[in-house]
């Protein structure tokens, strides 16, 4: 897939401006949403317990089965139903990684399909925690997500010690799903350089918390961190 030029304006349209820190207070949420409106993002991604919320015109994304994914399917479905009732317009679910690693693809697909049915008409993204999977597991998880009717596959929660998004994982995911699904890159994306690298690899959506900082250095010369990478090893 050939990607168009990624401008700052387009980035704002495809960035899920994210606040998933445990312990977030209502006052911190309000401040985050005001800042999101000032930045001009189209979507905000917040924890389900913070909903309902006044997103000041932005679409609301929330997470289910977060961050481990080690929840019963029925629990993820219940979370989804509640999130939709509370105003979520997109759902980012964490897949059961144990099922993925065991190669139980029918069970992986069934779990995703159950959540899909609980949020019909809304965008569903499946978080596979790519840094903790082998290439074959990444491909299998992406195929299961597509078969179950998901709209996106997503690299990471941003909370796993294995790491966040990588160019390799995004490229593999993009090749696997083609133009049929979107690919959301998330976890440790803190620079405009990282965003551009992931975009070139096939990312079509981004989960980022440092959106304003990324935009502030959008036209600055590219720089690498001390490890020689434009990615941060930390979380969102």
The residues spanned by each domain of the chain are 8-216
Q: Has 76 been annotated as catalytic?
A: no
Tens of pLDDT, residue by residue over 159-196, are 999 999 999 999 999 999 999 999 999 999 999 999 99
Largest CA-CA distance found in the chain, in angstroms, rounded:
48
Looking at the domain that runs over 8-216, which CATH code has it been given?
3.20.20.70
Residue 54 predicted with pLDDT over 80? yes
Q: Which of 16, 92, 151, 232 is catalytic?
A: 92
Whether the per-residue pLDDT at 226 is higher than 50: the answer is no
Question: Any idea what DSSP says for residue 49?
Answer: G
Q: Which pLDDT does position 223 carry in this prediction? A: 54
- Residue 4: band (very low, low, confident or very high) from pLDDT cuts 50, 70, 90: confident
From the list 16, 125, 154, 232, the catalytic residue is 154
Of residues 79 and 229, which shows the higher confidence score?
Answer: 79
CA 105 – CA 141 distance, rounded (Å): 8
* Distance, CA of 192 to CA of 75 (rounded, Å): 37
| Burial class (CB within 10 angstroms; exposed 0-12, middle 13-18, buried 19+) of 39 | middle
pLDDT > 70: percent of the chain: 92
Count Cβ atoms within 10 A of the Cβ of residue 40 and give its class: 0-12 exposed, 13-18 middle, 19 or more buried: middle
Respond yes or no: is residue 92 known to be catalytic.
yes
Q: Is 154 a catalytic residue?
A: yes
Rounded Cα–Cα distance for residues 77 and 186 (Å): 23
pLDDT at 89 over 70: yes
pLDDT at position 1 over 90: no
Average pLDDT rounded to a whole number, residues 89-96: 98
pLDDT grade, residue 236 (50/70/90)? low
**pTM, entire model:** 0.94
Q: What is the pLDDT of the chain when averaged over all its residues? A: 94
């Amino acid at each position: 897939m050939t990607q168009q030029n990624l401008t700052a304006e387009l980035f704002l349209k495809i960035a899920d401006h994210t606040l998933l820190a445990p312990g977030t207070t209502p006052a911190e949420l309000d401040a985050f949403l005001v800042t999101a409106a000032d930045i001009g993002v189209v979507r905000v991604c917040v924890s389900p317990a913070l909903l309902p919320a006044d997103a000041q015109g932005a679409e609301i994304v929330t997470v289910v089965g977060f961050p481990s994914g080690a929840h019963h399917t029925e629990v993820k479905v219940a979370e989804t139903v509640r999130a939709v009732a509370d105003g979520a317009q997109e759902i980012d679910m964490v897949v059961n990684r144990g099922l993925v690693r065991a190669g139980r693809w029918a069970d992986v697909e069934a779990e995703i399909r159950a959540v899909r049915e609980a949020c019909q008409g809304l965008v569903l993204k499946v978080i596979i925690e790519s840094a903790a999977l082998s290439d074959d597991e990444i491909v299998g998880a992406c195929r299961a997500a597509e078969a179950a009717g998901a709209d996106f596959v997503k690299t990471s929660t941003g909370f796993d010690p294995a790491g966040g998004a990588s160019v390799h994982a995004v490229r593999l995911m993009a090749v696997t799903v083609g133009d049929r699904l979107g690919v959301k890159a998330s976890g440790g994306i803190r620079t405009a350089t990282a965003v551009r690298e992931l975009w070139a690899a096939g990312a079509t959506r981004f989960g980022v918390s440092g959106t304003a900082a990324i935009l502030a250095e959008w036209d600055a010369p590219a720089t690498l961190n001390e490890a020689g990478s434009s990615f941060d090893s930390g979380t969102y």
